[in-house]
Each structure stands twice: as structure tokens, then as C-alpha cells.
Amino acid sequence: MEFKDGQTVGIDLGTTFSTIAQLDGEGNPVPLANDDGEMETPSLVLLAETGHVVVGPNRMRAAMEEPTHVVERIKREMGNANFKQTFDGRQITPEFLSALILKKLRQDAVRRIGKIGNAVITVPYYFNDQRRKATQDAGRIAGLNVVDIINEPTAATLTYAWHRGELGATATGSDKPRMILIFDLGGGTFDVTVVRYTPTHFQVLATAGDVQLGGVDWNDRLMNHVADEFEARHGSDLRQSAATVQMLRNDCDLAKLDLSENTETTITCRHGGKAISVNVTRDRFEAMTADLLQRTADTTGLVLEQAKVEAEQLDAIVMVGGATLMPQVPRMIERVTRRQPSRDLSPYTAVAQGAAIHAAILEAKYRGEKSELADKVRKMLAAVRQDNVNSHGLGVAAVDPKSGRMVNHVMIPRNSTLPADCRQTFKTNRDKQQRVSIQVLEGDAPDPRACSLLGKCRITDLPSDLPKGSPIDVTYAFDAFGRITVKAQDKTGGKEASIDIQRHGGLDEQQLDAYTALANNYLVE
């Protein structure tokens, strides 16, 4: 880890909105307003013309543009090597498009606080290794020195502790350990995490989530409801028009917000010279999205079970993410846990504020007295320690002796406290086997094909007369920083091999340099 000259910030790179924050001289995590005076910047990219993009345009302008030039919800595509988008004769990737959002955040913040040298960027806890690497690459393309990637619920926990005066060596709150559940339902992703903490020690006990569940899915249910009504009345499917969908998505988002305050609302839609007004009650909206809410309830119950914690043992249930403002969400949490959730934090900025706190903690530790942080802030944060768990299992592809089929044998289960390690003995599959290949898998599914292949560790030139069933020792080690080391040893002849798993992504160094140069040439407004 290396800190460069300039300010250090935290960034919540969201599916629908993104926010940047920094600790002020008093140690307060402060969101930084963009050029429009807003704390949140829409994560919507308009590829306006050659070398020119608009980040966060209003829906009216976006609807008037060529549909293929409007990109939204790009966070859901992070790490997806199959994503295809071409602009100005070039193929662009989720990393590049996310970098344009980050570049806009950086540009606006520089006007307020000066040069930005370092950043911590948040990701959902349930992001796998490839998605995390893609996020890190996006920061690099945007010209940021990404000193760390932090999980969004962990960031929210830091903000909660700070809010209560329970953060750092000079905390004024109680030293008694507290246990909280972070319920993070954002625009496009969902996480539930149980954390135990004292002012100087934060420990994640369990986590689970869904990177394809968020407020936009509630919006889409409304949009499809209106589209179905339009088709029934006028005989045409308005979803075939990208411009109409742009406007209707905006109207449905506003309708969702309206239903959080009122018991009914009306959505008006015009398409192909025809119009329709659809009245939607809160009860009807909740009924058409009940299965989405149930998915969050099921995950909440699962995390409590995996943390071995009863709901009554929790000191608080903390809601973050804009979608938690829907009234059915706190009602569901209260029904599942028999506890009233806390609204102490801003659902919009809490994650970015926590990222700023984490960035300052790292700066206090690695820069020491050379840190630009005020001395009292540095001393407060330098003592903070954070322990995480792995959000996905780490396994090896092995032959099931009963079925003869390849299975994912999980070595380090998900929600294991890091660092973690495991050693196990496997056997060769046939006589005179000359090599062994250890396929390192990320995921919890029994079928290896449903998991991500992180890398391979190979032992070659085994003894020529090795009989079937000869022992091979395999050791997995997962350190506190998420680095993975795998070792394999032939117990008969002593031959061994090892591999350090590096975060991998869709972009290699040459591509990263090319996209960084391209981003530098783009005018972002």
C-alpha cells in the first residue's frame, strides 16, 4: 500500500447514485457536494459525442439521446467479461464506464478540497473477487490511487460507531462490545451483515447478500405494471422504445418515492401518440413486490443463523441504502426480528462517510505523523482494528469417490473469520499419475461449473510408479487482506508446488493503460 500526495477520500460507487466524502479537521466524515450542490451524483452515463460524456444527466435529456449512448446500472455488470458496448468505434467495458463516474466525482471534489491523491472505494460485501478487481481497476482508470476496497456494510458500521461517539482510542462512548446488524438495501445491490465492535476493534461475524437485488427492481415492477396496462389498452408494448423506457423509469422511481409518503399515486405514460394514466395504491405496490421483500427477509434470517446470534441479542439494526425508505422495509425487519430498526444514519451518505473514515484509518497507520490528518484525529484512528470474513467459500475441484463426478469441495467456508487456513489430504485418481492440478474455486455451489476459477496449482513429474490413492496434501490460506495462498505436496516423493492467487479481472496491464489514456482524453461534465 502506498499513499500519494494529495487528499484522501472515500467513495461510494453505487448502482443508481454515487457519493464522495472526506474527514474534516475535527474528524467528522463529510460528504462533498458536486457542482450542482448535491451530495449524490446519479450513476448514469451519457456518451454524448466523441471524447465527451455527461455523468448524471436528467432523464429528459437522456431520453432524447440515441438509446445505445445511455448507460445505467453499470455496477451490476462489474466483472462481466461478456458485457458488450461500443462507442466511437471502440469497445468499452464496465470498468471504463465506472471510471467515468469516478472521474466526475473526483473533478467536482477537487474544486472543493484540492488535489486528490488517494481513495477507498466501497463494494457490496457479496461482490466476488472478479467484481472487486474490476472496481479497483475502475479507480485506476479514473486516475485514483485506490489504497483499499471496503465492504459497504463495514463502512456503514464505522459511520454508526462514529455517530455514537464509539470510534477510536479517544471515544467518549462505552467500551462495552456492541453487536449490530447492518441492513443495506441500495439502488441495485443488497447486503446484510452482523458486526460486533468496540471503539478500537470491529469484527464481522457473518454476511450474505444479492448483487442483483435493489431499489431498481421495485421500480421495474411498477414499470412493467404500467407497460402491461398500456399494452392491454392500446395493443403495443412501450418497452420496445428505449426513449419511453427512460422516461417511464424516472416516473416510476418518483412514484415509488410518492408511495413512501402517500397511500396512492398515479403514473402517466405517453407512447406512440397515445397515453395512459395508471392509479397504483401502496397496498397494490407492496403486493406486486412482495417476493422481492421476502428475499431480503430470508437473507436476514440466514445471516443471523450463520452468526449464531438471536435477534434479541442485537444492540441495533441499522438501515442504510435509499430503498430502506420504503415503509414496507422497516415493517418487515420488525416482523422478522421483533426489533425496531434504527434510522440514525443517512441512508444516502452513510456508506461514503464510512469509506472516508476507513481511508483516514489507513492514512493514520501508514503515514503516521506525516499524515495530513490533525494530530488528535490521527491518534483517535490509528488504534482501530478491523476483522472481516470471506463472503464466498474457497474450494477445490475434486472427484467424489461415491459418484465419480467432479464436485466443489469447500476448504474454507464463507463467513470464516480472516485470516483462515485449512489443510486436507486428497488422493490421486489413477495408477502412475504424473501430475496433479489443484483448481482453486470461489463459490459455495456443489458444481464446480457454478463457481469462479481463481487459479491452478500444479505438481508435475510425480514418481513414475505412484499407485492410485497416493496422498496429496493441500493447504489453503486466506489472509486478513483477502490474499489467497495454495500449497500442494506429494507425500510420497515430497514434490510440492504453491501459488499466490492475485486478484484477477477482465483487463490486463496493457488494457488498463490504454483505458486510462482514453479516460484522460475524455471531457466529463
Amino acid identity for residue 453 in this structure:
L
- More reliable by pLDDT, 220 or 381: 220
Give me the sheet containing 201-210, strands edge to edge.
Answer: 316-320, 178-185, 190-198, 201-210, 385-387
Report strand pairing: 52-55 vs 523-524: parallel
Mean pLDDT (the chain) is 90
pTM of the model: 0.89
Distances, alpha carbon 419 to alpha carbons 29, 309, 345, 387, in Å? 29, 22, 30, 9
Report strand pairing: 452-459 vs 471-478: unpaired
DSSP run (H or E) holding 358? helix 350-367
The number of beta carbons lying within 10 Å of the beta carbon of residue 46 is 23
Closest Cα partner for 267 from 216, 224, 325, 214? 224
Structural class in CATH, domain 215-288: alpha beta
Q: What is the pLDDT of residue 308?
A: 95
Burial of 38 (0-12, 13-18, 19+ CB in 10 A): middle
pLDDT tens digits, 76-85? 999 888 888 8
Q: What is the pLDDT of residue 464?
A: 82
Active site residues: 12, 75, 152, 184
Q: What is the pLDDT of residue 480?
A: 77
CATH number of 394-494: 2.60.34.10
Domain 7-175+344-388+509-524, CATH 3.30.70.3270 — does that match? Answer: no
- More reliable by pLDDT, 334 or 48: 334
Residue whose cell numbers read 397515445: 274
The number of beta carbons lying within 10 Å of the beta carbon of residue 376 is 13
User: Is residue 24 pLDDT above 80, yes or no?
Assistant: yes
pLDDT tens digits, 171-229? 766 678 999 999 999 999 999 999 999 999 999 999 999 989 999 999 999 999 999 99
Q: What is the pLDDT of residue 40?
A: 95
Burial of 273 (0-12, 13-18, 19+ CB in 10 A): exposed
d(CA 402, CA 399): 9
Q: Going by C-beta distance under 8 Å and a sequence separation of 6 or more, which residues neighbour residue 281?
A: 263, 264
pLDDT > 70 in the chain, percent? 96
How does residue 304 score in pLDDT terms, banded at 50, 70 and 90?
very high
- Give the three-class secondary structure for 523: strand
d(CA 99, CA 94): 8
495-523: buried (b, 16+ CB within 10 Å) or exposed (e) per residue? bebebebebbbbbeeebbeebbebbeebe
User: Is residue 299 pLDDT above 80, yes or no?
Assistant: yes
98-137: buried (b, 16+ CB within 10 Å) or exposed (e) per residue? bbbbbbbbbbbbeeeeeebbbbbbbbbbbbbbbbbbbbbb
Q: What are phi and psi of 398, to 5 degrees?
A: -140, 160
User: Is residue 368 pLDDT above 80, yes or no?
Assistant: no
Least confident segment among 149-158, 303-312, 444-453, 505-514: 505-514
C-alpha angle 495-442-13 in degrees, rounded to nearest 5: 135
> How is residue 416 written as a grid cell?
470464516
Q: Going by C-beta distance under 8 Å and a sequence separation of 6 or more, which residues neighbour residue 412?
A: 390, 393, 394, 420, 421, 422, 476, 478
How does residue 503 score in pLDDT terms, banded at 50, 70 and 90?
low
Per-domain boundaries in the chain? 7-175+344-388+509-524, 215-288, 394-494
Q: What is the pLDDT of residue 60?
A: 67
